Amino acid sequence: MTRFIYSTMLLLLAPLISIYLYQIRGKKNPGYRRHFSERFGQVDTNIPEGAIVVHCASVGEVLAAAPLIKKMQTRYPSHPLVITCNTPTGRAEVLKQFKGSVYTCYLPIDFAFSTRRFIKRLKPKLVVVLETELWPNLFHYANQHCCPVAVVNARLSEKSFRGYQKFSAISRNIMKNIKILASHNEEDASRFIALGLEESRVITTGSIKFDVTLSENDISKLSDIKSQLGDRPIWIAGSTHPGEHEQIIAVHQSLLTTIPSLLLIIAPRHPEQFDSVANLLRDANLKFSRRSLSFENNSEVLLADTLGELKFLYGCADIAFVGGSLIERGGHNPLEAAASSVGVLSGPSTYNFSHIYPQLRAMHGAIICLDKAELTAQLNTLLSSSNTAHKLGQNAHACLAKNQGAINRTLNIIDSLLEQ
């Protein structure tokens, strides 16, 4: 009955959801208007039945899951893989990462008719969902068609936990349709159990985000970009948001007064922000180049207006600021910087990575700055002392290495489900 009420309310909102995706989001990013029928459970005829479906909400989840998915391709060669996502940028990243070796489509909106059509058409062998994408109808119809659902790399912040508690009946409905949940840590596990998930179905594996590594090709590309930028002090602000771009630009202007050769790499989180940030840089009278074009040596800022290059750009810097944290956004993944032994600075809002930042800070690989003034002061100190910045980066990498292994533990879980 609870799922029926949820489905009815969602159906009543269908016109608004459709207008929002097609008109509002589609105006900013035309990719939202393409493959629109997939939002309602339509599946391309070339996608085979009996696949393993792996759901990654957007770019961040695709990048985090890529090493896991690539190992799945090697480990289960007889099982086709379908990677679903919610956003055009996520879809583009799937194509970039896997170059046609997997199938991809949008996960349907969680209307009952959409998810029923999707599951009935694909008849998946297994549904693997990254992090906290908990969809009542998707899980219900997968379970109804004897398809196990595994939630991996699962995290649940205290804030999200309280939200799910307000809808305890539907939360219990979701939990009963999860076959196995692989959580980041015991704290996350306990929250899922409190929502109604059987304790026997929860396994603590750690976070697969710690398993980020740089391949030989990655190192080669990183070296090429470094040579383009030249031998000068560099800091990067990755995954920045509106309200944060302006603060980063102001910090950089302040730093230039004491370190005139300093280069800032600013990488907005969303592609639709690229032009807005370019306008902000012009208004600030800063000389800048765009990564999508040629780099000018006299640039004071490099605007990273490309997709999928952030881990390389982090590796070019002496110190990294990770965005979504000077505003109340919860932060973004600091481990791509740590993989290149680059130390991390962050604003105070890091609740999305509450399983990562405490460990980084405990091992002195990350520093939290309460505001842009403190960020400016920390950058001045670190950029003026290469040894201090280098030590911060070494500590960040040591934390990364210490916590690796979640991918293999997750593969063991998938093994057990495929054998059933």
Please say if 61 is a catalytic residue.
yes
CB atoms within 10 A of CB 71: 16
Cα–Cα dist 219/215, whole Å:
6
> Per the residue annotation, which of 38, 61, 131, 336 is the catalytic one?
61
For 44-179, where are the E strands, in sequence order?
52-55, 81-85, 103-106, 126-130, 149-154
Calculate the alpha carbon distances from 309 to 38, 215, 225, 305, 366 in Å: 28, 14, 10, 9, 22
Question: From edge to edge, which strands make up the β-sheet containing 52-55?
Answer: 103-106, 81-85, 52-55, 126-130, 149-154, 180-183, 202-204
- Residue that has been written with the tokens 């934390």 in this structure: 399
> Which two tokens mark 282?
């012009």
d(CA 393, CA 335): 11
Q: What's the number of CA atoms in the CB half-sphere (13 Å) around residue 271?
A: 21
Output the six-digit token pair for 349. Answer: 């809002």
Instruction: Give the contacts of 277 (CB within 8 A, at least 6 positions apart).
Output: 240, 245, 266, 268, 303
215 CB contacts (<8 Å, ≥6 apart)? none
3-state helix, strand, coil in the chain (%, to 5): 50, 15, 35
Distance CA 379, CA 169 (A): 48
Whole-number Å distance between alpha carbons of 345 and 318: 11
Residue bearing tokens 């205290």: 158
Handedness of CA 353, 359, 364, 369 (dihedral sign): positive
Question: What amino acid is encoded at 105 in this protein?
Answer: C
Those residues whose C-beta lies under 8 Å from the C-beta of residue 377, and which sit 6 or more positions away, are: none
- Token code pair at residue 189: 């596990």
Contact 182, 154 (CB under 8 A): yes
Residues belonging to the active site:
61
